[in-house]
Structure formats: C-alpha cells, structure tokens
Amino acid sequence: MTPLITNPKFLRIAAPFMIGVMLLLAWQLICTALAVPVYLVPTPSVIARTLAADWGLLSESLLVTLKITFMAFVLSVLLGVAIAFVFVQSRFIEVSLFPYAIILQVTPIVAIAPLIIIWVKEPTFALVICATIMALFPIISNTTLGLRSVNPGLLNLFRLNKATRWQILRRLRIPSALPYFFGGLRISSGLALIGAVVAEFVAGTGGTGSGLAYQILQAGFQLNIPRLFAALFLITVTGIVLFLAMMALSRAALAGWHESEMG
C-alpha cells in the first residue's frame, strides 16, 4: 500500500479528488446542520438529484455550449497560428500589428458582445465570433514567443548551411515553439468556454439562446437555484475536461523528446 500512496501519478489524481470529496461533505453537512433553504444554497445531494431530473434539458444546452466552444477554439487556433507565422517573418510586422492583438485581449467581451450579436444576424456565428475573440490572444502570444525562442547557435547553423525560411520554420522554429503552443492551448480552451458562456448570457438577455448560460438565466428568473447550480456544475466539469484534454495532447506530443513532459 505504501508504494501506491507515494506514487506521484496516484497522488496527482487522489489528492485533489479527496480534497474535493471533503469539501462536498463539508458543504452538505453545513447546509443540513444550519437548515439553509434550497433557494439560497442547495446541498450537493439536491444538486445531484436536480441534475438527474433535468438531464434532458441540461444535456441539450450543454451540447449547444460545447458546439460554440469547440468551433471558437478551432477557429482561434487556426487564426492564432497563422498570425504568429506572419509575425515571426518580420519584426516590423510584429511590432506594427501586435498592439492590435493586445487590444482584442484587453477589450471586455461583455462590452462588445451586444454589438457583435446585433451586427451578425446568425446567432450561432455571432456567439462563435465572441468566443473566438476571447480565446485568440493566448495562441498568438504563446506561439509567437515560441517561434522566436530558438537556440541562436542552431539558427546560425541553419543559416550557414543556407537553409531557406521554410526549412528554418519547419525544422527549427516549429519544434521549438511546440511547448509554448500547447501552453497556449491549455489557456485558450478555457477562454473559449468562458467566451461562449459570456456570449450566451448576452444573447439570453435578449431572449435568444439555448446554451447553459441561458438555462442559468432562466433558472435565476424562476428562482430554480438547484438547476442553476447544476448548470454551473456542468460548465465547471466541461472546463476541467478541456484542460485535461489539452494536457494529454501536450504529453502525447512532447513526452518523447521535451524536458517539460519527460519523467
């Protein structure tokens, strides 16, 4: 038993799981002991029963949110990598355009989402644009940093051997940028989900939408707090699964050669 307990892989899973179980038990016991009304803070058992009872409604909304999240995530990766490749070709281009990428990052999506939803007639496409704007910057910044972070000695060696820009990009810059790129994926996947939820909130206040954020709004209006917590639980689990998926993808791509994933 001792080798299993001291196993790092076991601890990486078991320690957070046990803490989560203890927090849920404490939540259940405190709410029960203090007789906290369900319409204020429902217990985990009530949330679980609500999740099971309303699964048909919540699962359909979850699929809508996942659709927007994945579309925005894929679009942000394609655009972010393409922009990073352009930036790395010229310092002048990077210095000229990078501030506009920063503007996209620092502009609150909740402020511009109503405009996008008004301008774009197709609701799903409007939500995807909002979520893409939210998720784009980490891909651009991390990939650009990775493409720039090459060993100067190796770069000089490539140039001495008269390697073309394409050869330097494919054989040197891209492998060097992969750890940074996967770091950007872990951040961007969560931001795509946040952007989708925020955009759904804005669309839901206008009377349109069917994602989890819309169900949260409706549950709040109806004072159906257990359903509100159940929807929040699904969003949280979705974010965790996305993060773990990006970690697994990074491990699969880098484990055989990069020190960040070896051992």
Asked if the structure places residue 215 within a domain, the reply is: yes
pTM tops 0.85: yes
Whole-angstrom Cα distance, residue 129 to residue 157? Answer: 42
Asked if the structure places residue 4 within a domain, the reply is: no
Whole-angstrom Cα distance, residue 96 to residue 109? Answer: 23
Express each pLDDT in 206-233 by its tens digit: 555 688 998 999 998 898 999 999 999 9
Express each pLDDT in 52-87 by its tens digit: 999 999 999 999 999 999 999 999 999 999 999 999
* Count: domains in the chain: 1
The CATH number of the domain where 84 resides is what? Answer: 1.10.3720.10
Give residue 220's domain range. Answer: 56-254
Mean pLDDT estimate for the chain: 88
Asked if the structure places residue 262 within a domain, the reply is: no
Asked if the structure places residue 169 within a domain, the reply is: yes
Asked if the structure places residue 37 within a domain, the reply is: no
Looking at residue 46, what is its pLDDT?
A: 94
Using alpha carbons only, how large is the chain's radius of gyration in Å? 23
Q: What is the 3-state secondary structure (H, E, C) of 11-78?
A: HHHHHHHHHHHHHHHHHHHHHHHCCCCCCCCCCHHHHHHHHHHCHHHHHHHHHHHHHHHHHHHHHHHH
DSSP state of 122: S
Whole-angstrom Cα distance, residue 83 to residue 191? Answer: 18
Helices 44-53 & 55-89 angle (0-180, nearest 10): 90
Asked if the structure places residue 40 within a domain, the reply is: no
Are the C-beta atoms of residues 253 and 178 closer than 8 Å to each other?
Answer: yes
Q: Which two tokens stand for residue 122?
A: 């197709």
Asked if the structure places residue 105 within a domain, the reply is: yes
